[in-house]
Structure 1
Amino acid sequence: MGEACVRSRARQVALVVAGALVCAALPSAAAAEAPVQPYGANDAGGFRNVLPSGENGFDNATQLAEFELTGTNPPHFADQLPPYADLLYASPTLTHAQIPEYFKDATFGVKEGDLASIESPRADVTIERDSSFGVPHIYGRTRAGVMFGAGYAAAEDRLFFMDVLRHAGRAELSSFAGGAEGNRAMDRTQWSIAPYTEADLQSQIDDAPKLYGGAGEQAVEDGKEFVAGINAYINAALLDPNLLPAEYAGLGRQPTEWKLTDVIAEASLEGGVFGKGGGAEVRSALALEAFEKRFGRRAGRAAWKNFREANDPEAPTTVSKSFPYETAAPFAPAGLALPDPGSLTFVNIGEELKASAALRPRSSSSGGGEVTDTPDPQPIPNDGSIGSELLHQALAGPPHESNWELVNASHSTDEHSLAVMGPQVGYYTPQLLMEEDLHGPGIDARGAAAPGLNTYVQLGHGRDYAWSITSAEADTVDTFAEVLCEDDFHYLYKAQCLAMERLEHTNIWTPNASDKTPAGSEKLTVYRTVHGIVYARGTVKGKKVAFASARATYFHEADSATGFSELNEPGFITSPEKFQQAVSKINFGFNFAYVDANHIAYYLSGWYPKKAPKTSPDFPILGTGEYDWQGFNPQLRTEEVLAFKAHPNAIDPDFLVSWNNKQAPRFAAADDRYAYGPIYRMQLIRNFIEKDIAGGKRMGIEQLVSAMEEAATQDIRMVVLWPILKQVLGTPSDPRLQDAIAKLESWYADGGHRRDLTNKNIASPGTYQHNDAITIVDAWWPKLLEAEFRPALGNEVFDAVRSMLRFGPPNPGSPPAEPDFSDGWYGYVSKDLRDLLAASGSGATPEGAYSRIYCGNGSLEACRGELQNSLLEALSATPAEIYGNGACAEDAQASCFDMNRWISASAITVPPFPFQNRPTFQQVVELTKTLSR
């Protein structure tokens, strides 16, 4: 390592500062090789952020013992949680002067007097940490030094969690952490999504220069230096127990050397959860089958399209301009491969995986799975393992609290653009993101990145611009029906009978202090075709087929590095147009936001394959070769994708909002997205912004923060649906219903918030204002949906729709979970009831009216009676029945049920905090100038 100063993480802050003085005494030649920039150098100012619970995710044996004895956290482990949580109480009257109380300074560098430590793990890199929050500020004399430092700092802050993620990415979490059913289920899921041999992982590295030339070569070199930094810390930790995460002892393990293929494996885990959409063609076909069985072919298909909502004209969108994509009819005949009724089975990739559970809503009889209506392919064990927690995220898709909101300079009080933005990656301890400040040749950026993948800042700011994302969930995954030949493991492709590739992986586990599961093993097996991984089998028109999942990013999870590298490069990002060019090179599907002092911009990233002409975007397509993606190369697994200008994008509209909503009119929702109807929660934020700029008014950054935070506690059912529901309910004579309606109306008038502004103890749930009304709605919602839709749809169709789209949280009787109010039947209720009111002469016909009215089979009187009865039934439910499970067994109320709870990958735990539906890492950007390059 040459001359270096490695800080001991066991020391108290005072000792670390003293160590900094020793480091400062290194020979001047070494210091000159990795110069440190002063605070604010090359930074326009105006950047703030917050990342709960804190930057540090490390605890050694001494610190863990102290935590267990006194409850004292290691430094910077949870110091960003209080400002994050406390914004809830300040939001209604937030002032500009208060913003620093809730979002820390994110300027480049360390302020004078705020230096906690300095180290030089290699001669060409220096890492400073600030005493305020422990953020690593990394300065490289060379680009290689910056990359090395990023890897070293990541290992300092997240080594054990990175190890969890790399093993999960390789589908060997159970071998690493123990054989708990949750870990094994996570392995099965990962092996079904991204099964790779070591040679497969290496091929992604080897192919980068072939596909991307010099940029690909640079990405590989950056990755190698990054891994060298991780390994340098591991080597130091193996020699000094104070540097070793305590969690390893619980598993009876020590960290082992990283390889660049480990980074690719972790990227495959991230890519399988975030940045993808689609792939539910077989499930959609099963839903269609139920509709046709109930209503007949013609009426059934029309009714299915009602609930599919691929292009609802009322759907809220980020941009108003139309961007047509996947315009072919769902029943386009070319290559259509609908499974024959009753023929479908789902593959069993693990020895104990029950394929019969696939596509069925979880129930109390699902072998330990939680009671919920989410359409997961298999029950998720609730055994407290890290695997079960990761699996919830993997199967539910990206967390849905990510949002960003941008306001044009012409509408701001200081005549400069405004932004509040961030991704939601769940609440993990340690956090699934880490913060870093990177400076060196071709790199000037500060922000957040996934540890183990943090070669570059992935979400943050450059010198005078900032960017962020929300998950787009646009269609990057299709299903091909491989026609079998010879036997079940050969298929026809371009007139040849090809053998499927068998991919096997065996996990072996033994008991450890953290997981007492008896020793055992499990073999995981999948079959791969030229298109992808086989996940189901059946027949199409009597012929045996295997259904294979084709993901555009499969074998290309690391390709996005070139785009992220450009986002960090000050010489490249000089305008919103250059920003759009950079993010267009990112193959994951993200809604990218951009802001500088004078501009705001948006671009949808991702590889969206050009499908064969006149083929269905909704259902499986024959995989015999005639209907491949255009330009498909089976060797490189590449294809033609949507052109740059065809991606939804915008520069300098009045404002922009994304909260995982539909991107643009006519940009069809992915086949697994049944939720893009007339109601989506981005309307909550949009409503506040429109009010604040109406009539020529201008808004400040404090108002934009409040727009986000006020929406973060609103219940969309009350804010958007209640006026419609109230009209249909009418004026009941039953005094119990009259009282309930009065309570609901009072809650609606107060904004429909789920919060307690009087309880300032973030460790306590308090009791919500309008608690009775909230309890009523939570009990009523599933009963309302049953009453409105099940009689007309019948049991089979109702359950089929529910398998594609959950009702929407909260879920009475389930374990506590914070509600995101993202995907749910909100739009179905709105459209159907407005159709009903229009038919009865009580309202206008909505755009995109359904093919039939479901509530009351079209009778307002019948529907009114059904909804009143369902509300009356809900009033008999007790709080214990609704909320009294798990952590809320002794505090059965909505405020306990909703709390944001932490997923722990650490021996250090953090208590839950009151509900907020907002990003995890969040930036507040208020720029007033641009800098010359």
Structure 2
Amino acid sequence: MPRRTSRTTLDRLRTPRGFPGFLKAASVCLLTAGLLSPLSPAAVAYPAHPAVTETAGAPAAAAEDHCGGRCSDILPPGQNGNATLAQILLHQAFGTQPAHAEDQLGPYAKLATGYPSLTNDTIATFFNDASFGVPADQIASTVRPAGRGDVTIVRDKKTGVPHITGTTRYGTEFGAGYAAAQDRLWLMDVFRHVGRGRLTSFAGGAPANQGLEQQFWRNAPYTEADLQAQIDHAVAANGERGRQALADVHAYIDGINAYIDASDRGRYFPGEYVLTGHKNSLTNAGTIEHFTPTDLVALASVIGALFGSGGGGEVANALSLLAAQEKYGVAEGTEVWESFRQRNDPEAVLTVHDGSFPYATRPEQPRGRALPDTGSVVPEPLVFDRTGSAATARAESAAREAARAATTSARRGMSNALVVSGKHTASGHPIAVFGPQTGYFAPQLLMLQEIQGPGLSARGASFAGLSMYVELGRGQDYAWSATTSGQDVIDTYAVELCQDDHHYLYRGVCTPMEKVEQKNAWKPTVADGTAAGSYTMRAWRTKFGPVESRATVGGKKVAYTTLRSSFLHEVDSIIGFQMLNDPAYLTGPDAFRGAAQHINYTFNWFYADAEHTAYYNSGDNPVRAAGVDAEFPVWAAPEFEWRDWDPATNDARYTPSSAHPQSRDQDYYVSWNNKVAEDYTAASWGNGSVHRGDLLDDRVRALVAEGGVTRAALVKAMADAGVADLRAQQVLPELLKVIDGAPVTDPAAATAVDRLRAWVASGAKRAETSAGSKKYAHADAVRVLDAWWPLLVKAEFQPGLGSGLYTAFTRNLPVDEPPSAAHGPTGAHAGSAFQYGWWSHVDKDVRAVLGEPVRGPLARAYCGGGDLAACRDVLLTTLKEAAAKTPAQVYPGDEHCAAGDQWCADSIVHRTLGGIKHGAIGWQNRPTYQQVVEFTSHR
């Protein structure tokens, strides 16, 4: 039977029970009644209305552009993320797509098979021109939103990207808000409700909806007063730039609300509002709520939690340390734990090649640890008073999964960057291929825009609803991008309870916890498969952050709380983005570093202009008390608090900018969420001898050694790594060395070995036999390795570790994350793969058994107890078991794929957040939004 996965109510907009038939019938009836005119998709993409002046006249003068036609970008599926009810009904009934809804998906998908023959001249086949402005013959429309005379929105024919040009700062930002609402109003509305923990009240009570809102609200259970206070703080702390940011926010929101009003009058608002019961399609009754500044804080809290907050997981770390100490004793158990943790592995691939940047390192004499008593940890419940048919096992499972996700340090980190200095390029100018991997959604979380106005000049991508500035993109003579860095800015404190379960000791005083509640109630809608219901989310907050779990420590009752440096500071980064968009400020790599220093989220930032490259690691890294180990919970006592910490505002002393990893004009930079620099500890496990960053580093290092690097060569390096199987390229050769120690006599095992060896020799790619074939060239070898790896890891390590410690370690780090994985931080059909797994552990262990040198080895040998012959038996036994598994067993199928369909199991599926869906594309491991840049001159 195919496995089932829960779907959100938003998913049900496309495939609820009986819904496709209803849509087709409804659309035919509407067509017959004349209420739905059979317009072409282009005709209803961005409809005009009385408050808008729309022409196809001459373009505004383009801003100064020093890219010389060598800037490109791509963002699937397409720019247009809004669809009217008519478009949704037509799409569901007949498969039609609104204009620009998926026109970037095809070129993006084709790179996976087309990159081997790529040249500089054919980059445009797979990427869009990212030059400033729109040529006159490529203008699709020119809009003056709300009839304003100080801003125009020009959209190009090819992609529909908005090019916003303003003569006043207010008008420019008004236009940015208006364009954002044109392209992403429904998505923006969804995520402002997610950030407030109100998604089910807004979009229905499907269990997965509940899980989504619980996951984010648990991390940021803010009140409305908290949201406003963050705006006030960001403005007050940043002088004139803070005041300008607030003015920009108000202008941006005015633009959003102007579009809401106009689309309401013109009745071309997103059709999802009708399908979820917020608007009546016949009478137009109902409202779409205006946006407010605090909505942007709620949106920012979701994005920050997803991509920019490294750390957490201290309780899980403590549990695995205790399991190791129980098995081996305190001293040896600690060393076993540290060897698996790999905090500062000497074999790890680095982004910054020179220099040491100590942060969150292992203290020689740890102080203040508050490790739980065995068996005492109980996760803090979040959901109460559940009613209705949604009070099912599926709903409870979603809640448990949200709680589990909140307690692990394994977070989404999927972006990559390849940057080469001009010393090694054919042109003498730096080249960069970089971008964020934000997942695949329909519509996309990001949106493209160009924004030109007083103090603003940039083109690129921004998160929908936060696009008052370009967040990742290019300026007049420079470009920038980011990857998730994941350094630890989240700590867990053990607050001792007093009086009852909701009072705790704060600096010696018994203090009540703050109760924050969010009540959700929903009604059945045409888009929902659940009956009416309700529940309450309840969070208990302390000075040290929200309560995550309860336990005893040395017999004392405690609550474990989670404190992150960005808590109550979700919008502080707005100043850094403002600087990145300001051509008067951003004049070179030093100014770039200055802008990145104002971003409090944990990111790697990369920069390139015509002469220089640069790198800077951002984030508010708290200065911890001497002896505090960031890996484990500590007591909530003054001597263990962050230095200069103010609990009222969650301000603290942070490490100075000079202590952050940074570099300028290094020969090359690569990043794929790997280790940043020597002695700089990432929160997540697995930054060891094998990491997917090696796939980039090997290729780029070879290009640099050869010299004469071109844009095409760097894109090819990225794309080649993007279809590689990390395990097969980096670990399988060592496994085959062990097996090759003697003849393989078992026929099934011998066949499997031969196929695996042939796959490695061919490059170990998960690549189609030909474009569109939907079959892998080495399908059997891929299937065998997918089946073998989890069996191998368990057989290799569980006998030595014992089942308890092995299970505890797998909670810290999943053993595998192939493209077809339906588990872990990314889930199925997510594109990103090979971020989390025991690649380094297998590699180091097998090399040790082979007698090869290993820097930073594991504390013990595990494969076959360290005996080479016994290790070989383990490998062959599990390989034979894996080879016997059928495709249907390895790829059991789901709502998207039939059992046994290997290509489909790997495929990327855009997760539907509205009424328009898109077909699956072949797997490739690359950023969602991506730039290719090579500037030819300076201002």
For the 8 Å contact 1:142–1:441, the answer to whether it is kept is yes
Once the two structures are TM-superposed, the CA of residue 426 in structure 1 deviates from its matched residue by: 0.6
Tell me which of 805, 808, 815 is aligned to 1:807. 815
TM-score of the superposed pair, with normalisation by structure 2: 0.90
Structure 2 CA distance for aligned equivalents of residues 134 and 395 of structure 1? 40
Distance in 2 between the 1:127 and 1:428 partners? 25
**Cα displacement (A) at 1:191:** 2.2
Given the alignment, which residue of 916, 924, 927 partners 1:919? 927
Is there any run of 5+ residues in structure 1 with no aligned partner, and where?
1-7, 354-364, 371-375, 382-390
Quick one: structure 1 residues 503 and 755, their matched pair in 2 at CA, closer, same or farther if it must change by over 3 Å?
A: same
Matched, 1:414 2:439: no
- 2:868 maps to 1:848: no
- Which structure 2 residues correspond to residues 568-647 of structure 1 after superposition, within 5 A? 568-647=581-660
Question: Which one of the candidate residues 396, 400, 403 is aligned to 1:378?
Answer: 400
Matched residue, 1:387: none
SS at match of 2:570: coil
Change (3 A) 1:160 1:793: same
Whether contact under 8 Å (1:143, 1:440) holds in the other structure is yes
The 2-side partners of 1:297 and 1:686 are apart by: 38
The answer for the alignment partner of 1:480 in structure 2 is 493
Match of 1:758 in 2: 770
Encode CA deviations 1:317-370: one digit per residue, 9 max, x unaligned.
1012233333553684421111111221111011279xxxxxxxxxxx985899
Residues 409 and 418, structure 1, Cα contact 8 Å, conserved in 2: yes
In structure 2, do the counterparts of structure 1 residues 125 and 301 end up closer, same or farther at CA, with 3 Å as the change threshold?
Answer: same
Q: 1:151 to 1:918 in 2, by over 3 A?
A: same
Match of 1:693 among 680, 698, 704: 704
Shift of 1:500: 1.1
Alignment equivalent of 1:267, drawn from 288, 294, 300: 300
Contact 2:313 2:408 in 1 (8 A): no
Q: Whole-Å Cα distance in 2 between the matches of residues 813 and 127 of structure 1?
A: 41
**How far apart are 1:26 and its partner, in Å?**
8.9
Distance 1:209 1:813 in 2: 43
Q: Which residue of 1 aligns with 2:525?
A: 512
| 2:82 is equivalent to residue 74 of structure 1 | no
Shift of 1:209: 2.7
1:124 paired with 2:146, answer no
Query: Which deviates the most, 392-401 or 643-652?
Result: 392-401
Q: Deviations over 1:235-266 (max 9, x none)?
A: 11111112x10111110114211111001011
**Aligned pair in 2 of structure 1 residues 13, 24: CA closer, same or farther (>3 Å)?**
same
User: Does 2:175 match 1:149?
Assistant: yes
Any idea what SS the aligned residue of 1:132 has? coil
Report the Cα distance in structure 1 between the residues aligned to 2:245 and 2:855, rounded to whole angstroms: 48
- Structure 1 segment 776-855 matched on structure 2, within 5 A: 776-810=784-818, 816-817=828-829, 818=831, 820-838=833-851, 843=852, 845-855=853-863
Instruction: State the Cα deviation string for residues 513-553 of structure 1 (Å, max 9, x = none).
Output: 11132212111111111120011111122211111100100
**Displacement after TM superposition at 1:624 (Å):** 2.2
Deviates further, 428-437 or 882-891? 882-891
> Superposed, which structure 2 residues align to 1:77-96 within 5 Å?
77-96=101-120
Aligned 1:91-102 pairs, distance under 5 A: 91-102=115-126
User: Deviation at 1:801?
Assistant: 0.6
Q: Is the 8 A contact 2:415 2:927 kept in 1?
A: yes
Tell me which amino acid in the other structure corresponds to 2:739. L
470 and 447 in structure 1: CA distance in 2 versus 1, 3 angstrom threshold: same
- What is residue 362 of structure 1 aligned with on the other side? none
CA change 1:11–1:264 in 2 (3 A) is farther
2: CA distance between counterparts of 1:738 and 1:105?
50
Q: CA–CA distance in 2 between the matches of 1:922 and 1:394?
A: 31
Query: In the alignment, which of 412, 423, 427 is matched to residue 436 of structure 2?
Result: 423
- Identify the match of residue 63 of structure 1 among 74, 78, 87: 87
Instruction: Tell me which residue corresponds to 2:249.
Output: 223
Instruction: Indicate if the aligned counterparts of 1:168 and 1:190 stay in contact, CA closer than 8 A.
Output: yes
Q: Sort the Cα spacing of 1:413 and 1:286 in 2 relative to 1 into closer, same or farther, 3 A.
A: same
Find out whether 1:249 has 2:274 as its counterpart.
Answer: yes
The Cα offsets for residues 480-519 of structure 1, whole Å up to 9 and x where unpaired, read as: 1111222221212222221111111111111111113221
What is the Cα deviation at residue 40 of structure 1? 5.7
Alpha carbons 1:38, 1:110 under 8 Å: kept: no
Alpha-carbon distance in 1 for matches of 2:897, 2:252: 46
**Structure 2 residue matching 1:86: 3-state secondary structure:** helix
* 1:655-670 matches, cutoff 5 A: 655-670=668-683
In structure 2, distance between residues paired with 1:22 and 1:889: 46
Aligned letter for 2:775? T
Counterpart check, 1:169 vs 2:195: yes
Q: Distance in 1 between matches of 2:393 and 2:876?
A: 33
Q: Is 1:868 matched up with 2:879? A: no
Give the superposition deviation at 1:718: 0.7
Whole-Å separation in 2 of the counterparts to 1:902 and 1:567: 30
Instruction: Look up the match of 1:435.
Output: 448
TM-score w.r.t. structure 1 length?
A: 0.91
Contact 2:316/2:408 (8 A) holds in 1 = no
Same amino acid, percent of matched pairs: 39
Structure 1 position 393, deviation (Å) = 11
| Paired residue secondary structure (2:343) | coil
Structure-1 separation of matches of 2:73 and 2:271: 29
Distance 1:377 1:828 in 2: 32
Structure 1 stretch 890-899 or stretch 149-158: which is displaced more? 890-899
Assess if the C-alpha contact under 8 Å between 1:430 and 1:905 holds in 2.
yes
- Residues 221 and 20 from structure 1, CA distance in 2 versus in 1: closer, same or farther, beyond 3 angstroms? closer
Q: CA deviation at 1:123?
A: 2.9
Q: Report what 1:38 is aligned to.
A: 61
Give the 3 Å change call, closer, same or farther, for CA 425–491 of structure 1 in structure 2: same
Pairwise CA RMSD of aligned residues?
2.6
1:379 to partner: Cα distance: 3.0
Deviations 1:740-780 (A, max 9, x none): 111111110111000114133xxxx6110011111110110
Is 1:713 aligned to 2:723, yes or no? yes
1:276 and 2:276 are equivalent in the alignment: no
Matches within 5 A, 1:885-896: 885-887=893-895, 890=898, 892-896=900-904
Q: Deviations over 1:369-389 (max 9, x none)?
A: 99xxxxx993379xxxxxxxx
State the match for 2:911 in structure 1: 903
- Asked if the contact 2:151/2:172 (under 8 Å) is kept, the reply is yes
Give the match's secondary structure for 2:640.
coil
Instruction: Confirm whether residue 160 of structure 1 aligns to residue 186 of structure 2.
Output: yes
> Against the structure 1 CA distance between its residues 273 and 657, is the aligned structure 2 distance closer, same or farther, given a 3 Å change threshold?
same
2:71 to 35, 47, 50: 47
> Structure 1, residues 572-594: CA drift from partner, whole Å, max 9, x if none?
11111110110110000111110
Corresponding residue number in structure 2 for 1:287:
320
